[in-house]
């Protein structure tokens, strides 16, 4: 079938001309005459009833029962005219499907007609990230109905799968099409949407090509996208981002479960700060008490280790009341946390991190190619470089690399964003990797529960993990000695009464342990080379955004 297009106005005129034959005109004339006679025969006092839209009869339109808007019927979604049968997934249609009758529900992405024939219309149907061409031939009325559908309307299609003479370029299903026998609309979209899926899905390259030809295409800004997530989510790249995000979370659960970690759920309403500091959301609790939204599951996952669970993990929401309006911070994000007993050295925790990410990167590259290609088409990025044995540098080695490159950093302090990015660049140039571990941070730069180095208390048994020059993980050995822990709490000015149960847990006998926390959205952002972390959050919450 040809996929050449013509303007919809031209199609409408052509189809009208093709369908209104002399015989049809005579029928219309006879109907009008009969209607006029009926009006004359009505009593004078009788008010004329409102005109009702006349649907084509079976004689006028033999296909009238095969298309239209689905009227709501109690307990039913599909009209009786739609046959029962298995639903087909658009993404599964291929050469093996040729000749099969299929029933598909999807979104009307576009409707147009071919210029070579007057009685054929084309409907692009979308289902998630998959699209297929549907052909409506033989019924001018059904074709006009398809053209009347607003973009993004939800429709049912029943028809036969047919092989194309030439592969299509603009649909994901390229070798076959659906020859439509029935078409029903179950939900009409507004004729004019706040943003166009087509506009929201354009790449920088498309804009550049259009401008080179003197055409200005509409641009959809970040705030506009975030204000209308139900439409923005329909673009291929955004669909792909959240499928990749799901795979990362799934792989985290799978990898840790296979290594005897137990999934737990910790409270998000707590009585005090879990990290120390003032970056907490406070709220009024019952009986006049004040509560906080948890900054991390840190204290409770340590208590689970105290309770003998040995290895635990959690995937859950984390809240940070930081006034950070940056491309990498959110006030609410998903944390992937783990805690485990250690036997000899806190590098045992690093080993888990190392193994997980190497397996994750391999999994994404091998099993998420379609999604990664969809992201890359709109937001081009370089494939991630990583080593099978992850590079580990000490904090002091990292500082030395920065100094040699002329970057000054605060001695014995945490790395700022600029220093992190520069170090990532230097590591990539020297070691050919975008992923590495930096360990043995100064104790002053770590939370109160971090274990100091035994040989030098100015440093700590801790580490951070970097991806494309940005930190995605903080981890460390934790303090399991009650006296040292109480001392560190006092040094950080934390009210002991607010974490009383946590502190008491360590007086019952606790094994040495350590763990880490991963920001899921940051991993997505950096693996896919995205500019802003909000692109990796379905409904982002930052210092300025609390809806939708």
Active site residues per annotation: 320, 322, 328-329, 471, 474, 522
Give long-range contacts, CB 8 A cutoff, 24+ apart: 136-141: 136/180, 136/183, 137/179, 138/63, 139/61, 139/62, 139/63, 139/66, 139/67, 140/15, 140/18, 140/19, 141/19, 141/56, 141/61, 141/63, 141/64, 141/67
What is the Cα–Cα distance from 89 to 74, expressed in whole angstroms?
27
What is the Cα–Cα distance from 338 to 264, expressed in whole angstroms?
10
Task: Single out the residue of 402, 479, 472 nearest to residue 437, CA to CA.
Answer: 472
What is the Cα–Cα distance from 168 to 162, expressed in whole angstroms?
13
Are the beta carbons of 338 and 312 closer than 8 angstroms? Answer: yes
What is the Cα–Cα distance from 158 to 261, expressed in whole angstroms?
48
What is the Cα–Cα distance from 199 to 194, expressed in whole angstroms?
11
What is the Cα–Cα distance from 410 to 87, expressed in whole angstroms?
62
In 201-293, which residue ranges form alpha helices assigned H by DSSP?
A: 204-212, 222-227, 229-232, 236-257
Handedness of CA 12, 206, 90, 71 (dihedral sign): negative
Backbone angles phi, psi at 353, to 5 degrees: -60, -50
Residue 471: strand pairing partners: 466
Q: Which helix (H) or strand (E) holds 184?
A: strand 176-187
DSSP state of 58: T
Give long-range contacts, CB 8 A cutoff, 24+ apart: 43-51: none
Structure token pair of residue 159: 């028809």
CA distances from 548 to 225, 243, 245, 534 (A): 11, 21, 20, 13
Are the beta carbons of 142 and 136 closer than 8 angstroms? Answer: yes
Are the beta carbons of 401 and 420 closer than 8 angstroms? Answer: no
Q: Residue holding tokens 């199609």?
A: 11
Q: If DSSP codes are grouped into helix, strand and coil, which group holds residue 98?
A: coil
What is the Cα–Cα distance from 448 to 440, expressed in whole angstroms?
15
3-state helix vs strand vs coil in the chain, percent to 5:
35, 25, 40
Q: If DSSP codes are grouped into helix, strand and coil, which group holds residue 226?
A: helix
- Kindly report the CA angle at 29 between 27 and 30, in degrees rounded to 5? 65
Assign residue 407 a region (left: φ > 0; alpha: ψ between -120 and 50; beta: otherwise).
beta
Task: Single out the residue of 301, 293, 250, 289 nearest to residue 270, CA to CA.
Answer: 293
């Amino acid at each position: 079938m040809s996929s050449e297009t013509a303007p919809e106005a031209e199609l409408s005129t052509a189809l009208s001309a093709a369908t209104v034959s002399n015989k049809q005109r005579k029928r219309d004339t006879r109907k009008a005459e009969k209607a006029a006679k009926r009006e004359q025969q009505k009593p004078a006092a009788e008010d004329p009833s409102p005109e009702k839209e006349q649907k084509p009869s079976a004689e006028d339109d033999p296909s009238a029962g095969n298309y239209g808007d689905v009227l709501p019927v109690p307990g039913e979604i599909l009209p009786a005219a739609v046959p029962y049968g298995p639903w087909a997934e658009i993404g599964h249609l291929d050469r093996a499907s040729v000749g099969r009758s299929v029933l598909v529900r999807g979104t009307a992405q576009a409707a147009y007609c071919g210029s070579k024939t007057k009685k054929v219309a084309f409907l692009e149907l979308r289902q998630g990230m998959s699209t297929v061409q549907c052909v409506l031939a033989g019924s001018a009325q059904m074709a006009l109905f398809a053209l009347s559908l607003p973009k993004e309307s939800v429709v049912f299609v029943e028809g036969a799968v047919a092989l194309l003479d030439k592969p299509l370029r603009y649909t994901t299903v390229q070798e076959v099409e659906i020859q439509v026998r029935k078409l029903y609309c179950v939900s009409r979209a507004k004729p004019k949407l706040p943003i166009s899926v087509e506009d929201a899905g354009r790449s920088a390259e498309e804009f550049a090509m259009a401008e080179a030809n003197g055409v200005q295409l509409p641009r959809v800004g970040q705030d506009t996208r975030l204000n209308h997530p139900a439409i923005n989510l329909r673009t291929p790249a955004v669909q792909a981002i959240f499928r990749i995000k799901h795979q990362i979370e799934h792989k985290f659960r799978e990898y840790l479960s296979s290594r005897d970690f137990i999934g737990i759920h910790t409270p998000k309403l707590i009585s005090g700060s879990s990290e120390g500091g003032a970056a907490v959301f406070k709220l009024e609790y019952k009986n006049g008490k004040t509560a906080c939204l948890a900054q991390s599951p840190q204290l409770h996952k340590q208590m689970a280790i105290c309770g003998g669970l040995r290895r635990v993990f959690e995937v859950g929401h984390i809240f940070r009341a930081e006034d950070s309006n940056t491309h990498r911070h959110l006030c609410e994000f998903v944390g992937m946390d783990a805690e485990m007993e250690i036997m000899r050295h806190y590098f045992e925790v690093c080993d888990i991190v190392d193994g997980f990410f190497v397996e994750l990167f391999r999994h994404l590259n091998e099993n998420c190619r379609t999604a990664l290609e969809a992201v890359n088409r709109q937001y081009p990025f370089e494939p991630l470089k990583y080593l099978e044995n992850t590079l580990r540098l000490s904090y002091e080695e990292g500082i030395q690399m920065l100094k040699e490159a002329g970057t000054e950093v605060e001695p014995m302090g945490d790395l700022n964003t600029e220093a992190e990015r520069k170090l990532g660049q230097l590591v990539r140039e020297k070691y050919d990797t975008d992923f590495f571990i930096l360990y043995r941070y100064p104790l002053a730069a770590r939370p109160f529960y971090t274990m100091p180095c035994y040989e030098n208390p100015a440093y700590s048994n801790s580490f951070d993990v970097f991806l494309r020059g940005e930190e995605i993980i903080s981890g460390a050995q934790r303090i399991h000695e009650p006296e040292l822990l109480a001392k560190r709490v006092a040094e950080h000015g934390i009210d002991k009464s607010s974490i009383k149960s946590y502190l008491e847990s360590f007086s019952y006998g606790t094994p040495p342990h350590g763990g880490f926390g991963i920001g899921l959205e940051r991993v997505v952002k950096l693996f896919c080379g995205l500019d802003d972390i909000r692109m990796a959050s379905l409904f982002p919450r930052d210092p300025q955004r609390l809806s939708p």
